């Protein structure tokens, strides 16, 4: 009878401490997504004028489209960095 009593006491002690032994860390705090990262990218057609373009206008328009792609890519990279940070934070919380 005695060999059974020791595991029962150990299991009881574990259950008691699991219920009230730790206060917990509370809810995880996640920073909001950067507002610029949620802004949609402009479509290249938004840069086209209504009529025919000269060579100079075409070059300027293509430059503006390229600038928009670079800007938009930076914003989406910020969104990716935010998501990666959230993923890492949640992963660290699970390992603690």
Q: What is the DSSP string of 57-80?
A: HHHHHHHHHHHHHHHHHHHHHHHH
Higher-scoring residue by pLDDT: 48, 95:
48
pTM strictly above 0.85: no
What is the distance, to the nearest Å, from the Cα of residue 71 to the centroid of all Cα atoms in its chain?
Answer: 19
Task: Tell me the pLDDT of the chain averaged across its residues.
Answer: 76
Task: Please name which of 36, 62, 35, 30 lies closest in space to residue 49, comparing C-alpha atoms.
Answer: 62
At residue 37, the 3 state secondary structure works out as helix
Mean pLDDT of 33-54: 88
Query: What pLDDT score was predicted for residue 86?
Result: 84
| 51 has pLDDT over 70 | yes
Query: Which element (helix H / strand E) includes 16?
Result: helix 2-20
| 9 has pLDDT over 70 | no
Give 50's DSSP letter: S
């Amino acid at each position: 009878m005695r060999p059974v009593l020791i595991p029962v006491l150990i299991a009881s002690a574990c259950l008691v401490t699991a219920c009230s032994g730790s206060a917990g860390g509370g809810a995880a705090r996640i920073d909001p997504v950067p507002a610029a990262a949620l802004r949609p990218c402009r479509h290249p057609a938004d840069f086209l004028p209504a009529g025919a373009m000269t060579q100079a206008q075409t070059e300027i328009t293509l430059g503006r489209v390229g600038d928009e792609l670079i800007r938009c890519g930076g914003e989406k990279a910020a969104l990716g960095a935010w998501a990666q940070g959230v993923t890492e934070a949640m992963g660290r919380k699970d390992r603690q």
